[in-house]
Structure 1
Amino acid sequence: MRAEEGFQPTPYVEGNPFTADTVLPSLLKRLVPPSVLSEVDEDLQRFGDVVLTKLRPLSARAEPARLVQYNQWGQRVDDLQTSEGWRGLKAALQEEGMIGIFYERKYKEYSRVYGFAKILLAVGDTQVMFCPLSMTDGCSRVLELMGTPELKRDVIPRLTSRDPNIAFTAGQWMTERPGGSDVSQTETIATPIPNITSPYGPTYTINGFKWFSSATDSDVALALARTGPVSAGSRGLSLFLIPLRRPLFRGPEESAPPALTNNIRIHRLKNKIGTKVLPTAELELNGSEAYLIGPLNQGVKSITPVLNITRMYSAISSVGYIRKALTIATAYSKARTVSSGEQLLKDNPLHVSVLAKVNLLYRALTHFTFSAVALLGKVECGVASEEEELRLRMLTPAAKAFAAHYSSIAMEECMAALGGMGYMEETGIGRLIDDGLVEKVWEGTVSVLSLDIVRATSKRGVVEAFLKWANGVLSACPPPLQTKLSSPISVIRESLPLISAAYKAPVSPLATRPALFLFSHATSSLNLLEHATWSFATQSTSVEVDIEVFRRWVEEGAWGGGLATAAEELKRGLEATIERVAADSKIVYGTEDEAKDAVVELARAHL
C-alpha cells in the first residue's frame, strides 16, 4: 500500500492564538481599562495572524548557530554564524515593538500587560528569541535608571528601536565556573583605565572567563566583574556595560565585526539539551573595554532590575509553552477519531478530563503571572503603592519558579494526548519541552528562588503587604459568591497564617521550598477568585466556568495536589527535626559518607 492510500489523518487547525485562547481575552478585560482595551484587543487579533503567517515560517527555518574559530590561514576569526530564521525572528519581533512597547509607554502602566500578552502569544512559535529580548529589556531598564545621559541618548534608543537595521540586543554575563548562581565567587577582574574619559561612564578593562553567556550574537552585554577584594564576596562586584564588537555604532549596511575587536574570544558554543538555536557560549575576556554602570562595588544591587525583568520573561515563557502545547492538543482532539472512527477525542470524557486539568493549570499560571506583570508596569510608571512594590518583590521569584516547575509536566500531558503523533518532532511539542526545561534552571532553580523569597520577606512589611492584599480579595467577594464558595475560601483563609509563620525568622531550611509553593498556590487561587468576583459582578458569560476553575484549583490543584496539599507539605517542613535531616542524608549518601555529618551540622544551626 502506498503512503497516500488507506486511512489519511485529518490535519488539526490551531487557529488564531489570541481569539482561540480560553484565558487571555477575558483576563485583559479585567486588567485593562476600556479606553486601552479596544486598541490592545485589535492589535492582539492582528498579531495572532502574524504569529501564524510570519513568525511560524521563520521559526521553521531557524537552525543552531555555528562557530568558525579559524580561517583557512590559521587566523583567529571567531565568526559566529546564525541562521536566516533566527535573524528573521529577531527582526520581526523588533518591528512589533517587543521592547519598544515597554519604553514608549503609550498605554502607561498597562504597557507591560499589553506587551506581555504579545509575548505569551508568540513564545511557542519564536524558538527562544525572548531570551535575548528579555536581557535587552533588562539592559534598557538598568540604563534608564542608572545610565549616563550619553548612554540614554545613544544606547537606549537602539535597544528599544523598532527598526531592525539599527536595533541592538543585549546579553547578560553573570555565571562563572566557581559559583553558578552564587556570584560571590566571581573571578573576572575589572581594572580602571587611567586618563581615559568616556561619556558612557568610567572606563575599565575586563579580564576573566564567563561560563554561560546567552545571546552571544548581541551588541552589548551587562556583566559583573570584581572591583573589590575577593574577601568581599559579592560586595566587591560592580556592573559593566561591555560592547561585544567595536566599533559599537555602525552604518545599517556595515556587517558586524567579530567579538575579537573588543578582545573577546568565543571559547566554544554550549551543547545544551534544548534552546539549541540560541547561541550560548563560553567567553574569554582579555582586556575588553567596558563602562561602569551604577555605584562601584554595588553590582549585584545594580543588576537587580535585569533579574526582575528576565524572571518575568521566564515565567511568561513557561506559561506560553503550555499555551502552545495545549492549543495543539485541543485542536487535535477536534480532528482525531477513535473507537473505530465513530468518536472524536473531544467527545471522549476521559480524554477531555486530562485536557481540562492542563487548562486549569494554564488558567492559574496565566492569572498568577499577569498579576505580577501588572504590578511591574505600575512600579515602572511610578503609580504603585508601597505595598504593591513590596508584594511584587515576593511575586517575581515565585511566579518564575512556580510556572517553570509545572510547565514541563503540562507539556508532557499534551504530548501524550496526541499518542504517537505527539512524540514526533513535526508537532513541535518535543521542542517546546526541550526548550522549556531551561526555565527550571535559568535565573534560579526553585531552591535558589525559595531562598530569594526568604531574603525578600526579611524586609519589614513584605509579608504584611501580601496578607493585606489577600484579605482584601477575600473581603471583596460578594456574599452570594462567598456562600457558594465557602469551602475553598476557608482553605485559603487557613493557609494565610501558615505562610506568615513560614517566613518568621529563623526560617527553617526545609520549609523554604514548600513555603514558595504554598505562597504560589495561595496567590494564584486569590487571582482566580479576583477574576471570578469580577466575572460575577459584570455578569460575564463565563462566570460559571470562572467559579468552577477557582474551586477546582483550590481543592484539586495541578499534579501533586491543591492548596491543602501544599499546606501539609509546608507543615512537614516547619516541623522537620535533626533526625529527619540525618535520615535524608543517609538515604542519599549512605551511612558512612562524610557529607552526612556536614549536612546535619549545618541544619543543627537552623533547626
Structure 2
Amino acid sequence: MRVEDGFQLTHFTERNAYLSDPVLPNLLKRVLPSKIVNEIEPDLVRLGTETITSVRAISERATPPRLTQYNHWGQRIDQLDTSDAWKALKAVFFKEGIPGIFYERTYGEFSRIYGFAKLHMLVGDSHVVGCPISMTDGCARVLELIGTSEMKTRLLPRLTSRDPSFAFTSGQWMTERPGGSDVSLTETIAVPTENSGDHMWPEYQLDGFKWFSSATDSNVSVALARTGDIKDGSRSLSLFLVPLRIPLVPQAGEPLPSSISNGIHTHRLKNKIGTHIVPTAELSLKSTTAYLLGSLHHGVKHILPVLYITRIHSAISGTGHLRKCLEIATAYSNVRRISNGQQLLSENAVHVAQLASISLVYRALTHLVFGTILFMGRVEANVASKDDASLLRILTAVVKAFTAEKAVAAMEESMTALGGMGYMEEVGIGRSIRDALVEKIWEGTTSVLALDLVRSANDPTAFTAFKNWGTKILDSCPPELGSKVQAPLEAVKAAFQTIDNVYGHPMTISPLLPRPALMLVGHAASAAMLLEHAVWSHNMKTSDRDVDAEVFVRWVNEGGLSSSFREVLDIASGDNGERISMNSSLAYGSRL
C-alpha cells in the first residue's frame, strides 16, 4: 500500500493563543480596569495569531549555538555563534515590548499584567528566549533601584528598548561549582582598581569561575563576587555589572570587540536535557572589568529583585508551555475519530475527563501566577501596602516552586491525550516538557525555595498578612455561592489557619516540614485566587459563572489540597526522628 492510500490522519489546527485560552481573557477582565482591557485586547488578539504563525515559523528554524574556542592559527577566540532564528526570536520580544512594557509603565501597576500576558502566549514557541529576557528584566530593575545616574542614562534605556538594533540583553552569574544555589562558598574574587572610587563607574576586577551562565551571548551580566573574607560567607559578597566585551558600546563604524576582550573565556557550552537553543556555558573570569552595584558586601540583598523577577518569569514559563500543550490536546480531540470512525475524542467521556483534569491544573496555576504578578505590579508602581509587599515576598517563592511541580505533570497528560502522536517531536509537546523541566531547578529548587519561605517567616507580620488576605477573599463569598461551595470553603479556611500555625514559629519547624508546607501554601493561595475569580464571575453574572465555581470546588477537592494538608499536620504534630532515620535507610540502605 502506498502512503497516500488507506486511512489518512486529519491535521488539527490550533486556535488563536489568546482567544482560545480558557483563563486569560476573563482573568484580565477581572483584574484590569475596563479601559485598559479595551486598549490592550486588540494587541493581545493580534499576538495570539502571530504566536502560532510567524513566531512559530521562526522557532522551527532555530538551531543550537556553536562555540569555536580557537581559530586556525591556534589563537583563543571563544567565538559563540547563535542561529539567526534565535536572534529573530529575541527581536520579536523586544518589538513586543518585553521587557519594555514593564518599565514604560503606561498602565501603572497593571503594566506587569499586560507584559506577562504577552509572555504567557509566546513562551511555548520561543525556545526559552524568555531566559535572557527575564535576566534582562532583572538587571533593568536593579539599575533602576541602585544603579548610578550614568548607568541609568546609558544602560537602562538599552535594557528596556523596543528596538532590536539598540537593545541589550543581560545574563545573571551566581552559580559556582562549590555551591549551586548556595552562594556562600562563592570563589570569584573582586579587587578594586584605581577607578573604584569613580561614583559613576566604580571599577573592580573579577577573577573566578562561573559554572552555569545562561544567555552567554548577552551584552552585560550581573554577577556576585567576594569582596571580603570567605569566612563571612554570603555576607562578604557584592553585586557587579559585567560587560561581556570591552568597550561595551563601540564607536560607530568600529568592529564588534573580541569575545575575550574583557578576560572572559568560555570553557564549554552545557549539554542540557532541554533548552537546547539557549547558549549556557561555563565561564572563567581573569582580570575582568566589572562595576560595583550598590554598597559593598550587600550583594545578596541587592540581587534579590533579580531573583524575584526571574522566578515570576520561571512560573510564566510553566503556565505558557502548559497552555500550548493543552491547546494541542484539545485541538486534536476535535479531529481524531475512534470507534470505527463513529466518535470524536471530544465526544468520549473518558477522554474529555482527562482534558478537564489538565484544564483544572492550568486554570489554578494561571490564576496563581497572575495573582502574584498583580502584587509585583503594585510594588513596582509604588502603590503597594506593606501587606502587598509581604505577599509578594511569600508568593514569589511559592509560585515558582508550585508551578514547576505541577505544570510538567499536566503537560505529560497532554502528551498522552494524543496517544503515540503526542510522543512525536513534530507535535511540540516533547520540547515543551524538556524545556519546562528546567524550571524545577533554575532560580532555586523546590527545597531551596521552601527554606527561603521559612526565612520569610522571620518577619512575624508576613504570614499574618497572608492569612488576612486569604480570609478576606473567603469572607467575600456571597451566601448564594457559599451554599454551593461550603465544604471547599471550610477546607481552605482550615488550610490558611494551619499555614499560620506552622509559620508562626519558624525556629521550631521540623526539618521535614518546609517542602510540604510550601506546597500547602501553593494549594491554599491558588484556591483563594480561584475563589476570588468565582465570586467575581458570580457577581457579574458571566456565562462562565457555574464553570468558575466548579473549578474552585474541584481544585480543592481533587487538586491535592487535602493530601497536602494531612501531610503537613502529620509532620507538624509528630516526633519525626524515627522517620528521618528511616528516610536515610530508604535512600541509602541499612548501613552496618
Shorter chain as denominator, the TM-score bin is over 0.9
1:581 aligned partner: 580
User: Where does 1:446-525 land on structure 2 (aligned, <5 Å)?
Assistant: 446-503=446-503, 504-505=505-506, 506-525=508-527
Aligned-pair distance for 1:341? 1.0
Aligned-pair distance for 1:408? 1.2
2:556 aligned partner: 554
Aligned-pair distance for 1:501? 1.8
1:601 aligned partner: none
Cα deviation 1:181-200 (Å, max 9, x = unaligned): 00000000000002566564
Q: Determine helix, strand or coil for the equivalent of 1:315.
A: helix
2:168 aligned partner: 168
1:21 aligns with 2:21: yes
1:227 aligns with 2:234: no
Query: What is the count of residue pairs matched by the alignment?
Result: 589
Cα deviation 1:242-293 (Å, max 9, x = unaligned): 0001111136776543320101000000000000100000000000000000
1:604 aligned partner: none
Q: Verify the 8 A CA contact 1:166 1:252 in the aligned structure 2.
A: no
Q: Verify the 8 A CA contact 1:200 1:291 in the aligned structure 2.
A: no
Q: Distance in 2 between matches of 1:370 and 1:31?
A: 9
Q: Distance in 1 between matches of 2:228 and 2:295?
A: 12
Q: Determine helix, strand or coil for the equivalent of 1:303.
A: helix
Q: Distance in 2 between matches of 1:253 and 1:283?
A: 29
Q: Distance in 2 between matches of 1:255 and 1:48?
A: 38
Aligned-pair distance for 1:35? 1.1
1:408 aligned partner: 408
1:565 aligned partner: 563
Q: Distance in 2 between matches of 1:90 and 1:50?
A: 15
Q: Residues 515 and 195 from structure 1, CA distance in 2 versus in 1: closer, same or farther, beyond 3 angstroms?
A: closer
Q: Verify the 8 A CA contact 2:421 2:427 in the aligned structure 1.
A: yes
Q: Verify the 8 A CA contact 2:355 2:414 in the aligned structure 1.
A: yes
The AA in structure 1 aligned to 2:539 is A
Q: Verify the 8 A CA contact 2:250 2:257 in the aligned structure 1.
A: no
Q: Distance in 1 between matches of 2:295 and 2:308?
A: 19
1:311 aligns with 2:297: no
Q: Distance in 1 between matches of 2:216 and 2:101?
A: 24
Q: Distance in 2 between matches of 1:555 and 1:301?
A: 39
Q: Determine helix, strand or coil for the equivalent of 1:262.
A: coil
Aligned-pair distance for 1:583? 1.1
Q: What TM-score, normalized to structure 2?
A: 0.98
2:90 aligned partner: 90
Q: Determine helix, strand or coil for the equivalent of 1:484.
A: coil
Q: Distance in 2 between matches of 1:116 and 1:252?
A: 35
Q: Distance in 1 between matches of 2:425 and 2:509?
A: 45
1:111 aligned partner: 111
Q: Residues 476 and 283 from structure 1, CA distance in 2 versus in 1: closer, same or farther, beyond 3 angstroms?
A: same
Q: Residues 446 and 196 from structure 1, CA distance in 2 versus in 1: closer, same or farther, beyond 3 angstroms?
A: closer
Q: Verify the 8 A CA contact 2:360 2:551 in the aligned structure 1.
A: yes
The AA in structure 2 aligned to 1:232 is D
Q: Residues 584 and 61 from structure 1, CA distance in 2 versus in 1: closer, same or farther, beyond 3 angstroms?
A: same
Q: Percent identity?
A: 53
Cα deviation 1:399-439 (Å, max 9, x = unaligned): 00000001111111111111111111000111001101100
Q: Verify the 8 A CA contact 1:128 1:435 in the aligned structure 2.
A: yes
Aligned-pair distance for 1:42? 1.2
1:258 aligned partner: 258
Q: Verify the 8 A CA contact 1:454 1:512 in the aligned structure 2.
A: yes
Unaligned runs of 5+ in 2: none
2:437 aligned partner: 437
Aligned-pair distance for 1:572? 2.3
Q: Determine helix, strand or coil for the equivalent of 1:389.
A: helix
Q: Verify the 8 A CA contact 1:201 1:293 in the aligned structure 2.
A: no
Aligned-pair distance for 1:53? 2.5
Q: Verify the 8 A CA contact 2:195 2:202 in the aligned structure 1.
A: no
The AA in structure 2 aligned to 1:229 is D
1:130 aligns with 2:123: no
The AA in structure 1 aligned to 2:283 is L
Q: Distance in 1 between matches of 2:546 and 2:491?
A: 20
Q: Determine helix, strand or coil for the equivalent of 1:259.
A: coil
Q: Determine helix, strand or coil for the equivalent of 2:390.
A: helix
Cα deviation 1:286-319 (Å, max 9, x = unaligned): 0000000011000000000000000000001011
2:590 aligned partner: 591
Q: What TM-score, normalized to structure 1?
A: 0.96
User: Where does 1:181-260 land on structure 2 (aligned, <5 Å)?
Assistant: 181-195=181-195, 198=198, 200-250=200-250, 256-260=256-260
Q: Determine helix, strand or coil for the equivalent of 2:260.
A: helix
Q: Distance in 2 between matches of 1:494 and 1:92?
A: 46
Q: Verify the 8 A CA contact 2:135 2:170 in the aligned structure 1.
A: yes
The AA in structure 2 aligned to 1:431 is R
Q: Residues 532 and 253 from structure 1, CA distance in 2 versus in 1: closer, same or farther, beyond 3 angstroms?
A: farther
